[in-house]
């Protein structure tokens, strides 16, 4: 009996034969997702190629001077993109400067401080703001916001800050500052929603550890929450900036559409997107249309460059080691 038991004990285990996995479905799923990703990439390449093909006459005539030339005259066919580039960056960065503190403050309040009974209502209202079409923002800005700004805030800024070149000159109403304010309102829901999701992803252990060390609510928010989510918040700001760079309809109704470079925010201007919207339908075939195609190419390059730089900065922030104190 003992010998039989020993023989059973020392015999190798029976080999378990599993059915071969079904690879057809996995392979098809992998190919399908790869195809979707390649289609997105192909769409970007196709848009870039279309813009390049349409702008080749302007590229051949103006070359690199198109980017630094400040004149835009369809009559003499003398075109330069510098006023449009200046207006695009001026409006977008000013809108980001205005919207970022408001968005981050709202996201922190909704995530860390807001009572449950008002949190969901506020989130719903913010999401509704993101769903409003841009042309509606433009009409509201032209009909309501600009008349109010010209009655009080703009004259107040001009009286109290006359030493700053940004608030000098005549007040036109339709100007860079008006377009920037409406752009700021438009990107607040985007930055707020993404920032709120980033802050919600912070582990509760971060907050609990800070409270256990005796930190106040402000210290917990500043160090354990905001410090932990710097990369995500920077990404939210980048998405808001990208939205502002490419906005066309609202800016077209509010910026004044004058191709000039000026220090005053009360002066009208132009952006790359609004220039294309305003002139493409009535442009004469030939060099004028080609110059507008090149404006579109510049806008595409500006957007891609901004996102690539943001990606690199986010990577640099992520690789930075925390200080040991």
Query: For the chain, how are helix, strand and coil distributed in percent, rounded to 5?
Result: 75, 0, 25
Beta bridge partners of 72: 79
Run of H or E residues at 298: helix 287-319
- Provide the residue-wise pLDDT of the chain in tens; the chain has 325 residues: 455 555 445 555 555 555 555 567 778 888 899 999 999 889 989 999 999 998 988 888 888 888 888 888 888 888 888 999 999 999 999 999 999 999 999 999 988 888 888 888 888 888 888 888 889 999 999 999 999 999 888 999 888 888 888 888 888 889 999 999 999 999 999 999 888 888 888 888 888 888 888 878 888 888 888 888 888 888 888 888 888 888 888 899 999 888 888 888 999 999 999 888 888 888 888 889 999 999 999 999 888 888 787 777 766 655 544 443 4
Q: Which pLDDT value is given to residue 170?
A: 87
52 CB-contact burial (10 Å; exposed 0-12 / middle 13-18 / buried 19+): middle
Run of H or E residues at 62: helix 23-62
- Residue 175 has which token pair? 């100007």
Q: Which pLDDT value is given to residue 21?
A: 55
223 CB-contact burial (10 Å; exposed 0-12 / middle 13-18 / buried 19+): middle
CA-CA-CA-CA torsion sign (235, 241, 246, 247): positive
Q: How far apart are CA 289 and CA 226, in angstroms?
A: 47
Closest CA to 247 of 148, 99, 135, 325: 135
Q: What angle do CA 109, 113, 115 make, to 5 degrees?
A: 110
CB atoms within 10 A of CB 228: 17
Q: How far apart are CA 239 and CA 237, in angstroms?
A: 5
pTM: 0.81
Q: Which pLDDT value is given to residue 145?
A: 92
Q: Which pLDDT value is given to residue 23?
A: 65
Q: How far apart are CA 318 and CA 117, in angstroms?
A: 36
Q: How far apart are CA 225 and CA 219, in angstroms?
A: 9
Domains of the chain: 59-63+78-319 (1.10.3720.10)
CB atoms within 10 A of CB 318: 10
Q: How far apart are CA 252 and CA 11, in angstroms?
A: 84
Integer angstrom CA distances of residue 193 from 125, 198, 218: 11, 9, 21
Integer angstrom CA distances of residue 299 from 31, 77, 82, 246, 292: 33, 21, 12, 7, 11
Q: What is the DSSP letter of 78?
A: E
């Amino acid at each position: 009996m003992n010998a039989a038991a020993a023989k059973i004990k020392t015999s190798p285990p029976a080999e378990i034969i599993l059915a071969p996995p079904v690879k057809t479905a996995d392979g098809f799923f992998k190919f399908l997702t790869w195809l979707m990703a390649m289609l997105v990439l192909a769409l970007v390449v196709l848009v870039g190629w279309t813009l390049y093909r349409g702008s080749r006459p302007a590229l051949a005539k103006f070359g690199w001077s198109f980017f630094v030339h400040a004149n835009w005259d369809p009559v003499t066919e003398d075109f330069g993109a510098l006023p449009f580039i200046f207006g695009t960056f001026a409006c977008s960065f000013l809108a980001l400067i205005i919207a970022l503190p408001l968005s981050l403050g709202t996201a922190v309040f909704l995530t860390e401080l807001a009572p449950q009974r008002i949190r969901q209502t506020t989130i719903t209202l913010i999401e509704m703001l993101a769903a409003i079409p841009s042309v509606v923002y433009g009409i509201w800005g032209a009909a309501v916001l600009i008349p109010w700004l010209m009655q009080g805030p703009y004259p107040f800024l001009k009286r109290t800050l006359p030493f700053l070149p940004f608030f000098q000159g005549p007040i036109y109403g339709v100007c860079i500052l008006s377009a920037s304010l409406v752009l700021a309102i438009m990107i607040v829901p985007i930055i707020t929603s993404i920032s709120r999701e980033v802050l919600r992803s912070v582990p509760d252990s971060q907050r609990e550890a800070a409270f256990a060390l005796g930190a106040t609510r402000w210290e917990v928010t500043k160090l354990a929450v905001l410090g932990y989510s710097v990369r995500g918040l920077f990404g939210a700001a980048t998405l808001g900036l990208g939205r502002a760079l490419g906005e066309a309809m609202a800016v077209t109704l509010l910026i004044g559409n004058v191709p000039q470079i000026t220090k005053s925010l009360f002066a009208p201007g132009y952006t790359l997107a609004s220039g294309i919207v305003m002139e493409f339908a009535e442009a004469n075939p030939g060099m004028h249309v080609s110059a507008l195609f090149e404006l579109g190419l510049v806008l595409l390059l500006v957007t891609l460059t901004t996102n690539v730089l943001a990606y690199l900065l986010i990577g640099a922030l992520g690789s930075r080691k925390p200080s040991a104190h």
